[in-house]
Amino acid sequence: MTVLLDDRLTWQDVAKVSKNAGLTLSENALARIENARRIVESIVEHGIRAYGITTGVGALSDTVVDRAAQGKLSRSIILSHACGIGPLLPRSHVRAIIAAQIANFAHGYSGVRKEIIHHLTAFLERDCIPDMPSRGSAGYLTHNAHTALVLIGEGSARIGDKAFHGREALAAIGLEPLVLEAKEGLSLVNGTACATGLSSVALDRAAHLLEWADAIAALTLEAIGCQMPAFSDAVLSLRASEGIAAVGAALRARLDGSGLIAAAQGKRTQDALSLRSIPHVHGAARDVFANCAAVVDRELASVTDNPAVSGTPAEPHVWSQAHAVAPALGQATDALAIAITQIAAMSERRIDRLVNPLVSGLPPFLASDPGSHSGFMIAQYTAAALANENRRLAAPASTDGGLTSALQEDFLAHPTAAANKLLAVLDNAEYILAIEWMAATQAHDFLNKEDQRASGTDAVYSLLRSHIGHYSDDRPIASDMEKTRSLLSRQAPTQ
């Protein structure tokens, strides 16, 4: 599969590239890139004062750099900004960041040469993945610089399972190191490609998780014998929300024809909130997701390079601005992290109801032999620990402070930190939902066989049982949790 970049990319496009799709640019996109480069060359030729082109960067923005040193400036920006630390980002994340960076250049306001685009698209095509440390970026500079290192034959990269020095990696895919020219160093580290790429990956995972959250919740609702009138279209329509309506419809479809639900009708006046308010919590997350997706798409449609060049080579313009700051992106990913945290917290509460004999009517802790077996007792502890970790991660990054570059950069929006927190929240949420899936499936093993599951919930039950058997304290439960989470992350819920 190859994604075509003509006018702009969407977050879905970036997510496809993160999962091995190629990226090719249309003639229109290449023409915009070439025109912007000619404008930069004109700025250099005429000696126009321009940030990061004929001046230094950050607090050195008033220091003029002569023409002979402008290429050196580009190289030194890459070397000095590549100061990431810690574990490397996964290859899918790096691919997404590169795709978002190419999309930014393709708007035609950055001024990099086509050779840079050729090298970056070759990285994607040949799966040459620069080693990009995950930590150390207060905004957007550090991660991008580690990709740029490989472009100039420095740094390191991986091709398949093999590690290479940057120059060796280029040679392995038939490329030579680039000698950067005016502005290219700044453009390569600038913009919001890192946060936008990471957010696109997070959106892809969140969309998948939201589908699973409804499916797994339905299996639990059936095991506990929920009161379905709370999920009727007439009832849910009293609260205006597209998300609530969508979740209500999904639960009704999944539970349609359930003998267990029919047998439980009228058993309680109303269910506990972790059951009754599933449409409200899951629906709120869907509404927040829609807003976050719109923000990421707007980010991909925007120029986030500073400075931006415009006009014509005959009449060049250079605009210093703050488009590389992305408060909306940080706020949107913070909000989605909070929404996913709530979904996971509610899932953990349902796990507790499944294992608690005081409210479930099922064997204590879903154990096959209560007393000699502990069943899911400690699996619920794990879910509680992860839910608590998510609560800490849900504290917004977009309100963090920080002063950099000698007070020149005295406000930071932290969209990269917000996107990384969202990805960490999704990791924990996947495990929590996996544990609920296991517990709900175990609960169904104990239910009266005379009352049948709905076909929609039976599909979810049978999918897990085709991979993992009933748990009888006969193996480490952690291995089941890992298998279930892996299954959840790679496969869509069957209907």
Cα-based torsion angle of the residue sequence 162, 166, 167, 169 in order, rounded to the nearest 10 degrees: 30
Strands 85-88 and 2-5: unpaired
Residue 410 burial by Cβ neighbours in a 10 Å radius (0-12, 13-18, 19+): exposed
Fold matches, 2-190 and 199-490: no
3 state DSSP class of 398: coil
Nearest to residue 23, comparing CAs of 47, 2, 45, 40?
A: 2
Write out the chain's pLDDT in tens, 495 residues: 899 999 999 999 999 999 999 999 999 999 999 999 999 999 888 888 877 777 766 655 566 666 666 778 889 989 999 999 999 999 999 999 999 999 999 999 999 999 999 999 999 999 999 999 998 876 667 899 999 999 999 999 999 999 999 999 999 999 999 999 989 999 999 999 999 999 999 999 999 999 999 999 999 999 999 999 999 999 999 999 999 999 999 999 999 999 999 999 999 999 999 999 999 999 999 999 999 999 999 999 999 998 999 999 999 998 988 888 899 999 999 999 999 999 999 999 999 999 999 898 899 999 998 888 999 999 999 999 999 999 999 999 888 777 666 656 656 778 999 999 999 999 999 999 999 999 999 999 999 777 899 999 999 999 999 999 999 999 999 999 999 999 999 999 987
**Superfamily classification of domain 199-490:** Fumarase/aspartase (Central domain) (1.20.200.10)
Parse the chain into domains and list their residue ranges.
Answer: 2-190, 199-490
Instruction: Look at the pTM and tell me if it is higher than 0.85.
Output: yes
| CA separation, residue 139 to residues 135, 200, 418, 419 (Å) | 11, 17, 10, 11
H or E stretch covering 244: helix 242-255
Nearest to residue 296, comparing CAs of 203, 360, 215, 364?
A: 203
DSSP sequence for 35-89: HHHHHHHHHHHHT---TTTTB-SGGGTTSB--GGGHHHHHHHHHHHH---EEEEP
Nearest to residue 295, comparing CAs of 400, 196, 191?
A: 196
**Architecture of the 2-190 domain:** Orthogonal Bundle (1.10)
Strands 162-165 and 308-311: unpaired
User: Which strand ranges, in their side-by-side order, compose the sheet holding 156-159?
Assistant: 128-130, 156-159, 162-165
Q: How far apart are CA 316 and CA 318, in angstroms?
A: 7
